[in-house]
């Protein structure tokens, strides 16, 4: 698979060093990747300086990054993807691997804009990768072999879990785990506000809600018990939880979650069309 570097020293470039680009960079550094084999493509000089200072990584032009690397991670916004591909396409070579983290952008969209034989993997990561608890789903494009897929998997495994999914599931994945942290933070924020409304000091409410979230997540992960069973364990007959859950049903929270995730799935589909 080695294209730009020697057979023993494959290089990885990250183009687009915002929230998720830095997530990938910092994860690779924490996982022990050699910094001299990493490159970042970044156009803003002050951001380039910041990344050089923070990680000791070489920040270069997009063209240099694409030319020198064997694997190029594309971490720009979906709306910027066509422009970046037009810029780097002249220096891309068959056998190189492009790993796109952009919501909605299909492997076909990328393959149509790069030389024949460039391998493409589509990834949907999420922000808990910043604390090595990420959830990423990866899907191969049409010129992608097992070695390419394994390399994409290794990139994302540096910051959490990775699953392989058929590409047709990626818009739903985006709606569930890609955007998912935002829904959880929204619930946390709402519960903290409710605690304050009930008279708790904000710091107390925050501590109670965050530890409840962490503990509940740990129960789900460690017991493997279905969430319905865990919910029933909390719900005493005629008790406080039953009263609260009834209100959530009256306010159609379950239906709201379904509608919200359908909206996210539909938006992911639209992003592929450039809107
Ligand atoms: N945030 C999230 O939770 C998730 C995001 N994603 C996907 O990750 C991608 C990046 O998102 P995110 O990190 O949040 O967005 P950011 O806006 O934080 O990062 C995008 C970065 O790309 C840079 N950029 C834009 N154009 C170019 C270019 N031509 N060359 C080099 N760099 C460029 C931007 O620079 P500048 O600011 O100077 O314009 C910015 O630093 C998106 O496609 C998104 O769909 C996927 C899953 C989760
Ligand atoms: O909101 C977005 O479009 C990106 C993709 C998934 C999470 N954030």
Is the CB of 179 within 6 Å of ligand 2? yes
Per-residue pLDDT of the chain (275 residues; tens, 9 = 90+): 444 444 457 899 999 999 999 999 999 999 999 999 999 998 888 998 999 999 999 999 999 999 999 999 999 999 999 999 999 999 999 999 999 999 999 999 999 999 999 999 999 999 999 999 999 999 999 999 999 999 999 999 999 999 999 999 999 999 999 999 999 999 999 999 999 999 999 999 999 999 999 999 999 999 999 999 999 999 999 999 999 999 999 999 999 999 999 999 999 999 988 76
Q: What is the DSSP string of 62-79?
A: HHHHHHH-SEEEE-S-GG
From atom 8 of ligand 2, which residue's Cα is the shortest distance away? 179
Q: Is 138 annotated in some ligand binding site? A: no
DSSP count for the chain of H helices, then E strands: 12, 8
Is residue 2 included in any domain, yes or no? no
* Domains in the chain, number: 2
Q: Which among 14, 15, 17, 18 is the best mutation to test ligand 1's pocket, defined by most ligand atoms within 8 Å of the CB?
A: 18
Residue 142 and residue 235 in one domain: no
pTM for the full predicted model? 0.94
> Do 150 and 208 belong to one domain?
no
Domain that holds residue 235: 180-271
* Structural domain contains residue 73: yes
The verdict on 160 and 190 lying in the same domain is no
Is the CB of 170 within 6 Å of ligand 2? Answer: no
CA distances from 241 to 191, 200, 219, 231, 248 (A): 14, 19, 18, 9, 11
Our answer on whether the CB atom of 127 is closer than 6 Å to any ligand 2 atom is no
Q: Whose CA is closest to atom 7 on ligand 2?
A: 179
Burial zone of 215 (CB within 10 Å; 0-12 exposed, 13-18 middle, 19+ buried): exposed
User: 191: closest CA among 211, 176, 171?
Assistant: 211
Looking at the structure, tell me whether residues 124 and 197 fall in a common domain.
Answer: no
Concatenated DSSP letters of 4-18: SS-TT---EEEE--S
User: Does 162 lie in the same domain as 119?
Assistant: yes
Query: Do 96 and 155 sit in the same domain of this protein?
Result: yes
Question: Do 18 and 142 sit in the same domain of this protein?
Answer: yes
ipTM of the modeled complex: 0.98
């Amino acid at each position: 698979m080695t294209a730009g570097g020697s057979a023993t020293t494959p290089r990885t470039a990250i183009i687009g060093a915002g929230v998720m680009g830095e997530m990938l960079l910092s994860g690779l550094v924490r996982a022990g990747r050699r910094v001299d084999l990493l490159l970042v493509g970044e156009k803003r000089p002050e951001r380039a300086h910041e990344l050089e200072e923070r990680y000791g990584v070489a920040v270069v032009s997009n063209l240099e990054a694409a030319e020198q690397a064997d694997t190029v991670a594309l971490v720009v916004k979906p709306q910027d993807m066509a422009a970046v591909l037009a810029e780097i396409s002249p220096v891309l070579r068959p056998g190189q691997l492009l790993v796109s983290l952009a919501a909605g952008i299909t492997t076909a969209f990328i393959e149509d804009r790069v030389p024949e034989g460039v391998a493409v993997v589509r990834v949907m990561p999420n922000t808990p990768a910043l604390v090595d608890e990420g959830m990423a789903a990866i899907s191969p494009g049409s010129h992608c072999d097992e070695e390419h897929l394994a390399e994409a998997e290794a990139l994302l495994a540096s910051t959490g879990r990775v699953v392989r999914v058929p590409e047709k599931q990626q818009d739903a994945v985006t709606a569930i785990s890609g955007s998912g942290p935002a829904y959880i933070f929204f619930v946390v924020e709402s519960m903290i506000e409710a605690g304050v409304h009930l008279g708790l000091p904000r710091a107390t409410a925050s501590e109670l809600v965050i530890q409840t979230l962490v503990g509940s997540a740990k129960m789900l992960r460690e017991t493997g018990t279905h969430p319905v069973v865990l919910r029933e364990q909390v719900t005493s007959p005629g008790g406080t939880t039953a009263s609260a859950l009834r209100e959530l049903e009256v306010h159609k929270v379950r239906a709201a979650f379904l509608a919200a995730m359908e909206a996210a799935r539909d938006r992911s589909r639209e992003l592929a069309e450039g809107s």
